[in-house]
Homo-oligomer: A and B are copies of this chain.
Amino acid sequence: MHPLPHDPSRDDDDGFHEECGVFGVWNATDAAALTALGLHALQHRGQEAAGVVTLSEPGKFHAHRGLGLVGDIFGDAKVMAGLKGRCAVGHNRYATTGETALRNVQPLFADFEFGGLAVAHNGNLTNAVTLKRALVRRGCIFQATSDSEVFIHLIAISLYASVVDRLIDALKQVQGAYSLVGLHDGAMIGARDPMGVRPLVLGRIGGEGGAYVLASETCALDIVSADFVRDIEPGEIVVIDNNGLRSIKPFGRTQNRFCIFEYIYFARPDSVVEGTPVYTTRKRIGEELARESHVEADVVVPVPDSGVPAAMGYATEARIPFELGIIRNHYVGRTFIEPTDQIRHLGVKLKHSANRPMIEGKRVILVDDSIVRGTTSKKIVEMVRQAGAKEVHMRISSPPTTHSCFYGIDTPERSKLLAANHDVEEMARIIGADSLAFISLPGLYRALGRDGRDAANPGYCDACFTGDYAIPLTDLVDHPERMPALLAANGQ
């Protein structure tokens, strides 16, 4: 229920594609401060809003949330002082602005018959529309547009007695890709979807008897000096209480399908995923790329910041100098000058600028992580040319992005994906590069230490490159009227 939505009649399925970070801590002094630090380390997963809920004694929850960066939201001593307790869960997210956002900011909290429950979740449900319709028919009232509310209602109406059984009941009904952290009176709960598409790791502070930590990435363990214990497994539910940790695996055996794009772009370079450092993987992708599609050139230049490790790997493998030929301006605020038509032709470079002396008169290999719509690549190539490059060769550390993601990464509909509508040669012409190459799918798997891609069980979700959607897209099939553009574009 929402007391005064800006437009209460708007569709309830805009919640698609949330990129988020989650964090939880059980049994630690300064739980709220640790959670805020953890969210700060996960800031790259969502910069629009953040929230923390703590538990100080049975039934006593405390909460704060806001729009903006973690440091700004939780930088107030009075706010932190109000977040009492040794247990906390937090969330930060990439979201739309405005009043609506605040209602949607997680962790969500609800009072149930059995007490309060706070839930923070990262990911996307693929049968949310279907479930919402059934729940409304049953008398449930939705307040926000976020998929997460579906969890809350399923838990509320479950006939099971314990919180954990109710949560399992809820998880069995949802489809999709998600990691979640929950907090109630007696326990902190972590859960990953059956295929483990979204990440969740376990850490400890202070060893035996110390605190437990759950986080989206290991970099959030590092900032609070927690020791990495292990990844939560696909389909695993961990229940952490004063007796320690209990693991439940309520789902049948399924394939592992960790999101391969976390390695390429999304995870922070200093995180370690499934035992593999992200930074090292990115360098190896660069090396593979150099082996697959090298071209004569004078200098390898990364598109900062995400292209840097791959460019370093490329340069090393290709034995060409690596130079910071593009400088990134980190001070781009929320909004920026919309250039008038008169100055738009200047090819304005708000976020990147060419380091002219490193580029002028040179044959340049640019290394970037992906091409989505192609508009940014086009501008960057143009900027490098204006700075005097003799040749511009673009190398991409991922295969062509030909399909939309329905599992939690914000991608446009298929009709807007450059690679869904053009072959590589056309793409090169469109972005204005002298040559363009993507890493091959086998090359990407090789960089991850595999022999190649096993089509029967690839071990990763690579749907955005292959269209191999392992989790059913129920809403897309059953409620096509809700997503006509996606449908048409994806041809499903």
Contact = CB atoms under 8 A, between A and B. Distances in A.
Interface stretch (A41-49, A368-376, A397-405, A483-491): A41-49
B333 A72 contact: yes
A310 B437 CA distance: 31
B327 A270 contact: yes
Contacts of A347: 225
Among A44, A110, A269, max chain B CB count under 10 A is at A110
Contacts of A2: 109-110, 143
A106 interface: yes
Nearest to A141: B110
A348 B110 CA distance: 33
A70 interface: yes
A143 B108 CA distance: 11
Given A33-B343, A335-B71, A111 B142 contact: yes
B331 A43 contact: yes
A261 to B, nearest CB: 19
Nearest to A34: B343
A455 interface: no
A252 interface: no
A206 to B, nearest CB: 11
Given A60-B9, A335-B71, A3 B33 contact: no
Given A111-B136, A152-B141, A346 B75 contact: no
A339 interface: yes
Contact of A111 (B8, B43, B158): B8
Interface residues of A, number: 115
B353 A223 contact: yes
Contacts of A69: 331-333
Interface string A108-144: 1111110010100000000000000000110111111
A355 B109 contact: no
Interface in A222-280: 222-225, 268-270, 272, 277, 279-280
A112 B142 CA distance: 9
Given A71-B350, A349-B223, A355-B270, A109 B330 contact: no
A140 B116 contact: no
A65 B8 CA distance: 13
Interface in A18-64: 29-30, 33-34, 36-37, 40-41, 43-44, 47, 51, 53, 59-64
A99 to B, nearest CB: 9
A353 B8 contact: no
A338 B7 contact: no
A77 interface: yes
Nearest to A349: B223
27 contacts: A3-B51, A4-B63, A4-B64, A9-B59, A9-B116, A37-B350, A41-B353, A71-B334, A72-B335, A111-B136, A112-B136, A112-B141, A139-B157, A139-B158, A140-B140, A140-B156, A141-B153, A219-B353, A222-B353, A223-B348, A223-B353, A225-B346, A269-B324, A272-B357, A277-B355, A277-B356, A277-B358
Closest 10 pairs (CB-CB, A-B) = A75-B335, A71-B333, A139-B157, A4-B65, A72-B333, A277-B357, A69-B333, A43-B331, A270-B355, A71-B336
Given A43-B331, A270-B357, 18 more contacts: A1-B1, A3-B103, A3-B104, A4-B65, A4-B107, A4-B109, A8-B116, A9-B59, A30-B342, A36-B337, A37-B343, A71-B350, A75-B335, A76-B335, A111-B136, A223-B353, A224-B346, A270-B356
